[in-house]
């Protein structure tokens, strides 16, 4: 093997394992981030381009280094824990909450999707999570088809259809059911369903792209979002007063960090050794 090949192996090793360390660092930093999906780095050996007489890679071809591919595991389910915040929601199973960057909503192609359900009402009553995304819901009946065009930001100050504000009195409490129904209880004791929270499903979740913080966007690989009622078909159920935790396991990440750091150090030693051999060769030739 030439010195160029040795240097190439060392450089590819540093590049690949640095990518692995970066992914681990991001995972550790988001170990307590609601709805975060861990990143896994897969490493694979690179083969030289040596060819045999049949056009295939020669059986004795030397390795040409290592490559790394980091993938966010969007389909992993995080642990669901209950709390006392009624507007917090988690998905148990498949599906993503549909969100918008603004309370005015967004066009179908501009919607984002998240598993971070730490929603709270803002000063206007709009449900917004800690990342600043507004939860989208529908006011249509349970038998109506769900479409992106029928979505709007969930606002707890919305007056129920056909209700008289003076007779209802103040909003007392809110409960979110497993089917995504947002039921509001008022001072007069009446209960009204003011919204339904649907879920977005994808043909290939692995093809989703990270858009901003804990939100993702569709790509050609993921396919367009299919909007479905929670608990219907393959859509998971919604748990109110609950949150889905990060899928990061700190113990696993630190074990991976040790192994990846050692591999990175080995790549650095390859480069140092190749450099020393090269200097010795040049010195001898002179």
| Best CA proximity match to 151, nearest among 113, 186, 177, 123 | 113
**pLDDT at position 238, please?**
98
**pLDDT at position 57, please?**
47
**pLDDT at position 177, please?**
96
Joined together, the tokens standing for residue 250 give 């700190």
Answer yes or no: do 64 and 89 share one domain. no
Answer yes or no: do 236 and 261 share one domain. no
| Best CA proximity match to 151, nearest among 162, 134, 142, 139 | 139
Answer yes or no: do 146 and 171 share one domain. yes
Answer yes or no: do 99 and 158 share one domain. yes
What pTM did the predictor assign? 0.86
**pLDDT at position 52, please?**
54
Answer yes or no: do 160 and 212 share one domain. yes
**pLDDT at position 63, please?**
65
Answer yes or no: do 63 and 104 share one domain. no
Answer yes or no: do 10 and 137 share one domain. no
- Give the span between the Cα atoms of 148 and 107, in whole angstroms: 8
Q: How far is CA 86 from CA 8, 62, 81, 240, in A?
A: 56, 60, 13, 6
Cβ neighbours for 242, distance < 8 A, ≥ 6 positions apart: 80, 81, 82, 83, 88, 89, 90, 117
Answer yes or no: do 123 and 210 share one domain. yes
Q: How many domains is the chain built from?
A: 2
Answer yes or no: do 94 and 145 share one domain. yes
**pLDDT at position 115, please?**
97
| Best CA proximity match to 190, nearest among 212, 166, 210, 219 | 166
pLDDT in tens, the chain (286 residues): 566 777 788 888 899 999 999 999 999 999 999 999 999 999 988 776 655 555 554 544 556 788 999 999 999 999 999 999 999 999 999 999 999 999 998 888 889 999 999 999 999 999 999 999 999 999 976 666 788 889 999 999 999 988 888 899 999 999 999 999 999 999 999 999 999 999 999 999 999 999 988 899 999 999 999 999 999 999 999 999 999 999 999 999 999 999 999 999 988 988 888 778 777 877 776 5
| Best CA proximity match to 249, nearest among 27, 17, 75 | 27
Answer yes or no: do 162 and 252 share one domain. no
Q: At what angle do helices 250-285 and 3-29 cross, to 10 degrees?
A: 160
**pLDDT at position 10, please?**
82
Per the CB < 8 A criterion, the answer to whether 70 and 41 are in contact is yes
- Give the span between the Cα atoms of 144 and 146, in whole angstroms: 6
User: Domain limits at 42?
Assistant: 3-73+248-285
Count of residues in the chain: 286
Answer yes or no: do 202 and 235 share one domain. yes
How many C-beta neighbours within 10 Å does residue 122 have?
13
Per the CB < 8 A criterion, the answer to whether 47 and 16 are in contact is no
Answer yes or no: do 101 and 202 share one domain. yes
């Amino acid at each position: 093997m030439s010195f160029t090949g040795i240097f190439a192996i060392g450089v590819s090793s540093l590049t690949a394992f640095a990518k692995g360390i970066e992914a681990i660092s991001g995972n550790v930093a988001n170990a307590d981030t609601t709805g975060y999906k861990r990143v896994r780095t897969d490493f694979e050996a690179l083969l030289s381009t040596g060819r045999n007489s049949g056009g295939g890679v020669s059986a004795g071809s030397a390795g040409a280094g290592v490559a790394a591919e980091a993938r966010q595991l969007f389909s992993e389910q995080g642990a669901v824990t209950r709390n006392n915040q009624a507007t917090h929601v988690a998905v148990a199973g498949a599906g993503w909450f549909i969100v918008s960057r603004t309370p005015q909503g967004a066009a179908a192609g501009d919607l984002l999707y998240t598993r971070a359900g730490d929603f709270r009402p803002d000063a206007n009553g709009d449900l917004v999570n800690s990342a600043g995304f507004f939860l989208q819901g529908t006011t249509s009946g349970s038998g109506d088809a769900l479409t992106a065009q029928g979505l709007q930001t969930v606002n707890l100050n919305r007056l129920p259809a056909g209700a008289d504000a003076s007779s209802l009195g103040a909003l007392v409490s809110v409960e979110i059911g497993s089917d995504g129904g947002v039921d509001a209880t008022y001072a007069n004791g009446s209960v009204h369903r003011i919204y339904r929270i649907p879920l977005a499903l994808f043909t290939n979740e692995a093809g989703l792209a990270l858009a901003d913080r804990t939100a993702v966007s569709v790509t050609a690989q993921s396919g367009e979002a299919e909007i479905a009622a929670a608990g219907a078909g393959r859509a998971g159920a919604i748990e109110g007063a609950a949150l889905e935790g990060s899928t990061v396991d700190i113990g696993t990440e630190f074990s991976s960090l040790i192994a990846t750091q050692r591999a990175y150090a080995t790549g650095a030693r390859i480069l140092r050794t190749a450099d020393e051999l090269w200097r010795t060769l040049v010195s001898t030739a002179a």
